[in-house]
Structure 1
């Protein structure tokens, strides 16, 4: 699974909290919309009702004729900011008494006397809200119909303003909820983040110990995976102990028989004149013994490197002079270079190069690299070892003019036991560069493979961060 598609607990919690919250906000918004509509209609209808009742109170019968003394307040109360138009009429038995003659008349028979009925209608091409009421008149057999109609601009304006306020409130609620949920989830997951950092501190290769995680400050929900992690740490610690035991035993139990074998080979070679037919066999045994001796030494070196990767961190950083260590490594490998008829030269560019690295680690790295440069070189070849400074780092370059390594193999040669397919390759284990990379990782060292001398062969460059004190001294110079 790619990192971009990896499941996220934070994302899942945010979605599980925000989606229901948004749905609840939408439901409240819908309820608010219905409430706004009902409230607006009720409020405006009450004003219409008041106007109708005010007109109804002024209806009288004089000489058998219905008369209306229309009060100004009856229609004035309907004035709104939206400048709604107001229409009215008073009719008896489908005959207009006063008002707007073309205003549609409601069915008076369907309206109980003394009650008000509301209906929507169109008047002069405009939507209006009508309040209709029937009122009994003295001496008349039929009730009088009073209607007051009002355009709906005011209602629409009020409804729109309230809806905008509701939308703004909903957005504010959702935004506030999102922020609060984000901080709540972040705070709620902070123990898991702290747990992740503590687990990272125990990663293989960081040098941290593998003690069990303390469950006291860990949320209950995380206890099952933490218990499993503690079991894993216990198994890993046991495996590391096996490596330690192997290193302790291998140094004695494997090297001692090989040393005895070399002594007996020397005795056989001394007496080989009496057994001339065994000279070739003894030479082959000697070559195999040397190869086995080198393989055992590299296996032990690899075990030491992996042990150091999970060992307790050093309290005090070790300081080494890269120039001195490189010079000693060149001196160590000089006899081997002479035996292989390879010219070995040491050409440092600086007098001192203090780095934060263990001397023993540096020795293993440099001797492995110089050994490879000599071992895989041709008869009469050359190897140049140099120490340089640059970009706040010190490094060693080991360049040879041998067959080199093709670019497509330069990353794979760091794999254990990997050997480049080629004819007439010297015997080897395929562990040298793997050991070097493992050791370099302990002190933040880097390694790079490039072209060698004159575009031939191989140049191996390893570098380390310079010590702070020495960098400051160089900057003052």
Structure 2
């Protein structure tokens, strides 16, 4: 027979402590998500980082693009000036007697170069390389097939270790037989660079003023945007410690509404936990009054001048009373644990093996009471999803109740029935039974059927119902259906959802019985 062994669990934090810590974490972190940012991380700083860091990274790129565009803009007017200079130079080329020569007028010479400006250069030569006039040091394009006559071309080159910009054109004189002539003018790049720098300064310098203002405006806007979070924090800090009422979600922006909803859910769970703790303290104080008073009375009687027989009786009463108080405290603690069992781990449990194991634990006590305790169940596993410790306590309370109310010579049976989608646990007895009108009330705390003459705390079935609810199971009381007509008895039936084995998903039903149990 399979055994289920459990290691003693380490003592966990109380539910109230856990929920209080969770509430503190959510309020401090300002988020309800599963992955939290560090506690001291600034949300405003995070947003500013993601907004401003790309801005400062793109700013150098903007400067570089502005420089390239500025150079292109600066080339346009100066290239146009070079083209006009070429036209003036072309007007100085004449053809006489079939020979091409250059006849520079004083006005043309002043236009091409003045004493105040030595940054303009020019050169005229024919297609054979014969120079007709100009600066012989001026570099020329490679002589080859002339370009289309009249088309102005541009190129960059160097002269005397400084950069120049050249414009050149091939001109064909109108006289028949005249050879093509290459006209070239050039100027240094100083004026162009100066203009480009002026353009860049006109664009970049205002950015040094606009950019800090933009950062301040972004910071101000974000500060105003996260103001509702600060208001929420202030409202939470201003609350009284006992105020667990939900926050107004309508007063929060839609972006932080999920956070407010999570806080409200946490407050509701915390309120339920505190109420359960208060109820536990009230129940414990109320129920322990009687046994403690009895213990004190018996102790006072034992301290008086009494006969040995009277002292022995008082000591026996003390032992009985202490056992009753211990059982009451244990049941109260078990009920409190069952009420706060939401966080307990759920796993696959073999209900048949668990029931058989727990029934065997009660065999010695049943034999002392003269009661026949038996177990009936299938030979196969009956897997359910649950917590083995809680289900074992549920079984122990049902078996304990059945043994208490069954007279000597009676029968108590723990029975497991396996259905296709349900697993049924039954504990039936041959006791006096429970009237139909009281079968719901016996699940209330501290309620006991009068006239039974059986000692108890009235918590056993309340614990059973609490554990059943934690497993989404249904528990009910019916007459014992396995007795002959006219016989009395009670059957407590617990119905749980059955886990289907992997083979069931392959074969359709896994070979399980094709019926469920109500």
User: TM-score w.r.t. structure 1 length?
Assistant: 0.50
User: TM-score w.r.t. structure 2 length?
Assistant: 0.46
